Structure 1
Amino acid sequence: MNPRRIAALGVLGLLVAGICAGQERPLVAPHAKAKVICTDCHQKEKPTTAAVPDEACMVCHGDYPAMKALTKDAKPNPHASPHDPILCTECHRQHKPPVVKCLECHEGKFTFKIK
């Protein structure tokens, strides 16, 4: 095998290994701007699952009553669900587009813009 091909395969191997090990995924702009890192939310140095406990969100964003108060002017208030508590990550998903969990059962009844 020629030396260039060996070098190219070596570089490719390192890139693949780095991607698999680091698995960097983009964050939403406010979290990226605040320099949030994986361990801030996942509470593990090298998370292997997408699981994020609500307590991790509450460190920066406050607890359920604080979020309800923050969005009190929204009609309806998305944090004042009669189904409380709904986990933060049910709607706010950092590595995927957000969803409005309410619309799974109440289709067409609400209009929310998730931040």
Structure 2
Amino acid sequence: MRLLRIVALGLAGALAAGLGAAEEQRTLPAPHTKAKLICHDCHQKEKPTSAAVPDEACMVCHGDYPAMKALTKDAKPNPHGSPHDPILCTECHRQHKPPVVKCLECHEGKFTFKIK
């Protein structure tokens, strides 16, 4: 029942944000669903009307920028060790759309990352 609520709230948020039909169908990634997150947990609003999520909402569970840089320290190059820090979490990790590697917009072909 809770999963149905999460999906319903996610769809309502997507519709309110004016997202495309394919994106309206996208549910949260499995770890967020398993954690029983609801829209408010990330959007910090009862009825979000946009896809905007403050980085602080990510940091509650995932840690701050230095923590993420330390967590991914063995990746070469470290995706969280950008000289352009801080890059907003949602620039790459987009929950209702496929993730992107923001670095590749300027550094095409120089990095190989799989975003989790």
Does TM, normalized by the shorter one, top 0.5? yes
**Which residue of 2 is the match for residue 27 of structure 1?**
28
RMSD, aligned α-carbons:
1.6
Q: Aligned ranges for residues 72-111 of structure 1 at < 5 Å?
A: 72-111=73-112
- Select the structure of larger CA radius of gyration: 1
Q: Are 1:56 and 2:91 an aligned pair?
A: no
Structure with more contact order per residue of length (Cα contacts < 8 Å, sep ≥ 6) = 2
The alignment covers a number of residue pairs equal to 96
TM-score if structure 2 supplies the norm length? 0.79
**Separation (CA, whole Å) in 2 of partners of 1:27 and 1:65:** 25
TM-score normalized with structure 1 length: 0.80
Deviation at 1:23, TM superposition (A): 1.2
In the TM superposition, what whole-angstrom CA distance separates every residue of 1:49-101 from its partner, at most 9, and x where no partner exists?
A: 00000000000000000000000000000000000000000000000000000
Provide the rounded CA distance (Å) in 1 between the counterparts of 2:104 and 2:31.
25
Q: What is the aligned partner in structure 1 of residue 43 from structure 2?
A: 42
SS in 2 for 1:30: helix
Partner of 2:71: 70
Give the % identical residues: 88
**Which contiguous aligned blocks of 4+ residues in structure 1 show a shift greater than 4 angstroms?**
none
Unaligned runs of 5+ in 2: 1-7, 14-25
Distance 1:51 1:69 in 2: 26
Say which SS state the counterpart of residue 90 (structure 2) adopts. helix
